A and B are shown apart, each in its own frame.
Chain A
Amino acid sequence: MLTQSKGIQEQCSTWIVWGSAILIALSFLSLLGDLLWHGWAQLSWSFVFSPPQNAGREGGIGPILLSTGLIVGICMAIALPIGLGTAIFLAEYTQGHHRFGRLIRGSLDVLAGVPSIVFGLFGNALFCQALGLGFSILSGGLTLACMVLPIIIRTTEESFRAITFDQRFSAAALGFSRSTTVGCILLPAAMPGLLAGSLLGLGRAMAETAALIFTSGYVDRMPESLLDSGRALSIHIYDLAMNVAGGNPNAYATALVLVGLLLIINFSASWMAEKWTTLNQLPT
Chain B
Amino acid sequence: MISSSSNILPHFHSDHSLLWGLRFLALIAGSLLLLIVMFLLQESWPAFQHVGLRSFFTDEGWHPSEDLYLLTPMLWGTLWASLGSIMLAAPLGIGSAVFIQYYAPSFLAKPYRRLIELLAGIPSVVFGLWGLVVLVPLIARWQPPGPSLLAGILILFLMILPTITLVVQASLAQIPVSVIHHATALGLSRWSMIRSVILPTAKAGIFTGLFLGVARALGETMAILMVCGNVVQSPSHLFDPIRTLTANIALEVAYALGTHRSTLFVSGLLLMAMIVVFVVMAEGFRHREANAHTK
Contact = CB atoms under 8 A, between A and B. Distances in A.
B218 A238 contact: no
A48 interface: no
Interface stretch (A22-30, A51-59, A219-227): A22-30
A110 B103 contact: no
Contacts of A262: 121-123
B276 interface: yes
A6 B189 contact: yes
B33 A110 contact: yes
A107 interface: yes
Given A21-B112, A110-B276, A16 B95 contact: yes
Given A182-B18, A207-B124, A118 B189 contact: no
Given A93-B22, A125-B43, A25 B272 contact: no
Contacts of A275: none
Nearest to B91: A20
B265 A121 contact: yes
A234 to B, nearest CB: 5
B122 A122 contact: no
B220 A113 contact: no
A194 to B, nearest CB: 14
A237 B2 contact: no
A213 interface: yes
A206 B124 CA distance: 11
A276 interface: no
Nearest to A111: B33
B222 A210 contact: yes
B215 interface: yes
Interface residues of A, number: 93
B36 to A, nearest CB: 5
Given A14-B103, A103-B30, A107-B32, A21 B12 contact: no
B146 to A, nearest CB: 14
Interface string B194-236: 1000000000000000001001001111100110000000000
Given A10-B189, A168-B2, A258 B126 contact: yes
A14 B43 CA distance: 54
Contacts of B158: 27-28, 31
A117 B271 contact: yes
A108 B30 contact: yes
B251 to A, nearest CB: 9
A117 B249 CA distance: 8
Contacts of B104: 21
Contacts of A95: 1, 3
Contacts of A196: none
A118 B130 contact: no
Given A6-B192, A109-B283, A210-B222, A259 B18 contact: no
Contacts of A209: 123-125, 221-222
A113 B99 contact: no
How many chain B residues sit at the interface, stated as a range, is 35 or more
A259 B133 CA distance: 17
B125 A118 contact: no
A81 B21 CA distance: 11
Interface in A107-156: 107-122, 124-126, 130, 146, 149, 153
A266 interface: yes
A67 interface: no
Interface string A77-120: 00001110110111111010000100110011111111111111
B96 A115 contact: no
B95 A252 contact: no
Interface of A: 6, 9-10, 13-14, 16-18, 20-21, 23-25, 27-32, 34-35, 38, 81-83, 85-86, 88-93, 95, 100, 103-104, 107-122, 124-126, 130, 146, 149, 153, 168-169, 172, 175, 177-180, 182, 203, 206-210, 213-214, 234-235, 237-238, 241-242, 248, 251-252, 255, 258-259, 262-263, 266, 270
21 contacts: A28-B119, A31-B130, A34-B130, A85-B21, A86-B29, A91-B1, A107-B32, A109-B283, A115-B215, A116-B219, A117-B268, A126-B35, A182-B18, A206-B123, A210-B221, A237-B126, A238-B128, A241-B133, A252-B129, A258-B123, A258-B126
Given A24-B96, A115-B271, 17 more contacts: A28-B158, A88-B22, A93-B1, A113-B212, A117-B219, A118-B272, A121-B253, A153-B29, A172-B9, A175-B10, A179-B12, A179-B15, A210-B124, A238-B222, A241-B226, A248-B133, A251-B129
The 10 nearest A-B residue pairs measured at CB: A115-B219, A85-B25, A113-B279, A207-B123, A104-B30, A177-B12, A210-B221, A89-B22, A13-B191, A21-B99
